[in-house]
């Protein structure tokens, strides 16, 4: 084995350094997650002439340990640490704030999902666990770049102005709140399973000053048709990355029945569905930088957690089985995701009208 490394890879040390790169990246991902979410990044970004000593004192941290963290990030090109103890973000470090939601989702939300793979992969083994709060926060943050603009575009294609959007599986409410904030004439009702997330969602609604137009309610998402009889129509239901969970947790017939019965109860409603096209063996996708950096781990985490991604054709067949038609399809702005794997559908019951 040693001879192979020395012959093929330029020496044992070179082979070791190459083999340890995943560990390097794994540690860096963990550190950057905390750097971003603990408030340290923002504090440094907001400071004009920061020093390690001053920042540690400001943040209530141990100076020597904080300096050790800054030294590590200096070596990774995230900050510049000067001989005078001064510290500032590099351009890469500054840009990290934009991409914080991806760290929240993949590291905070799903970081624990890969720790027990030997047990998870056993026959009849348990699903991997995840942190639902970070999953909700990260997913809603990422949606600002793709699902939210896609939803607004689909809403604009409905000929009669929608009065109420109903977000099924709304998470912490960020997505719903931002949608309603950007479309002032609509009301918003969100449904979520976890009581703690419902409470957090309503707290966020109040924080954004939208309590008169937006509310988050608790519901058993897998089986209940959302009760919005008290809401003013026209209605548009929204499920962003939620049907994939119901599909694995309750099965295809239950998802079909939920869609069918919801439209039976509200026949004049519309429905926006946002899902991810499942193409993990598509060489074009996996040769793309974003395909390997984001979608490859994204696809894997859906295999080990209680979720099920499916192809575009699968969803179109399921909608047809539920008796609904697809009126329009939207994909993300290519500037943020040129692969176009996230897909938004505008649905209407077969008996409903078609936008003109």
pLDDT in tens, 138-167: 988 899 899 999 999 999 999 888 999 999
79 shares its domain with 146 = no
Tell me, yes or no, whether 50 and 138 share the same domain: no
pTM: 0.89
What CATH number does residue 33 fall under? 1.10.10.10
Identify whether the C-beta of residue 261 lies closer than 8 Å to the C-beta of residue 335: no
At residue 214, what are phi and psi to the nearest 5 degrees?
A: -130, 140
Give the residue from 54, 75, 97 where a domain finishes.
97
Q: Which residues pair with 201 in a beta bridge?
A: none
Q: Are residues 63 and 127 in the same domain?
A: no
Q: pLDDT tens digits for 251-292?
A: 999 999 999 999 999 999 999 999 999 999 999 999 999 999
CA distance 247 to 249: 6
205 and 131 share one domain = yes
> Would 275 be classed as within a structural domain?
yes
pLDDT band at 356 (very low <50, low <70, confident <90, very high): very low
Lowest mean pLDDT among 33-42, 97-106, 175-184, 337-346: 175-184
Confidence bin at 352 (pLDDT 50/70/90)? low
Q: Which residues contact 161 (CB under 8 A, 6 or more apart)?
A: 185, 234
Summarised one tens digit per residue, pLDDT across range 320-344 is 999 999 999 999 999 999 999 999 9
* 173 and 290 both lie in a single domain: yes
Please report the pLDDT score of residue 354 as a whole number: 42
pLDDT at 109: 95
Domain that holds residue 199: 111-349
Q: Are 155 and 225 in contact (CB under 8 A)?
A: no
Residue 210 banded pLDDT, cuts 50, 70, 90: very high
pLDDT at 216 over 90: yes
Give how many domains the chain has, as a whole number. Answer: 2
Residue 221 confidence (pLDDT): 64
Q: Do 39 and 175 have their domain in common?
A: no
In a domain, 105, yes or no: no
Residue 354 maps to a domain: no
For range 16-38, the mean pLDDT: 97
Token code pair at residue 213: 């137009």
Maximum pairwise Cα distance, the chain: 74
Mean pLDDT of 68-82: 97
Q: Say if residue 21's pLDDT is above 50.
A: yes
The CA-atom distances, in angstroms, between 95 and each of 98, 261, 265 are 6, 45, 47
Provide the pLDDT confidence category of residue 173 given band limits of 50, 70 and 90: confident
Is the same domain home to 154 and 294? yes
Residue 353 is predicted with a pLDDT of 45
Per-residue pLDDT, 225: 80
């Amino acid at each position: 084995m040693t001879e192979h490394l020395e012959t093929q890879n330029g020496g044992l040390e070179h082979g070791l350094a190459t083999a340890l790169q995943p560990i390097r990246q794994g540690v860096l991902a963990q550190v950057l997650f905390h750097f971003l979410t603990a408030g340290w990044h923002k504090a440094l970004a907001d400071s004009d002439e920061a020093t390690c000593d001053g920042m540690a004192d400001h943040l209530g941290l141990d100076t020597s340990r904080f300096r050790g963290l800054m030294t590590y990030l200096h070596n990774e090109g995230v900050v510049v640490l000067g001989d005078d103890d001064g510290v500032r973000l590099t351009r890469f470090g500054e840009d990290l704030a934009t991409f914080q939601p991806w760290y929240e989702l993949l590291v905070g939300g799903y970081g624990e999902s890969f720790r027990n793979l030997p047990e998870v992969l056993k026959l009849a083994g348990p699903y991997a666990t995840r942190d639902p709060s970070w999953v909700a926060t990260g997913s809603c943050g990422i949606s600002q770049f793709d699902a939210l603009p896609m939803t607004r575009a689909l809403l604009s294609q409905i000929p009669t102005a929608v009065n109420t959007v109903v977000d099924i599986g709304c998470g912490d409410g960020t997505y719903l709140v931002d949608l309603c904030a950007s479309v002032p004439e609509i009301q918003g009702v969100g449904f979520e399973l976890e009581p703690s997330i419902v409470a957090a969602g309503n707290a966020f609604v109040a924080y954004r000053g939208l309590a008169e137009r937006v509310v988050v309610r608790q519901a058993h998402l897998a089986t209940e048709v959302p009760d919005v009889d008290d809401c003013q129509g026209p209605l548009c239901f929204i499920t962003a990355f939620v049907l994939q969970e119901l599909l694995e947790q309750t099965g295809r017939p239950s998802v079909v029945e939920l869609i069918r019965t919801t439209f039976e109860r509200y026949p004049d409603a519309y429905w926006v569905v946002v899902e991810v096209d499942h193409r993990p063996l598509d060489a074009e996708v996996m040769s793309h930088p974003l395909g390997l950096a984001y979608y490859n781990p994204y696809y894997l985490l859906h295999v080990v957690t209680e979720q099920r991604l499916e192809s575009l054709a699968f969803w179109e067949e399921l909608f047809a089985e539920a008796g609904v038609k697809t009126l329009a399809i939207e994909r993300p702005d290519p500037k943020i995701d040129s692969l176009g794997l996230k897909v938004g559908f505008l649905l209407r019951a077969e008996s409903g009208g078609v936008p003109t």
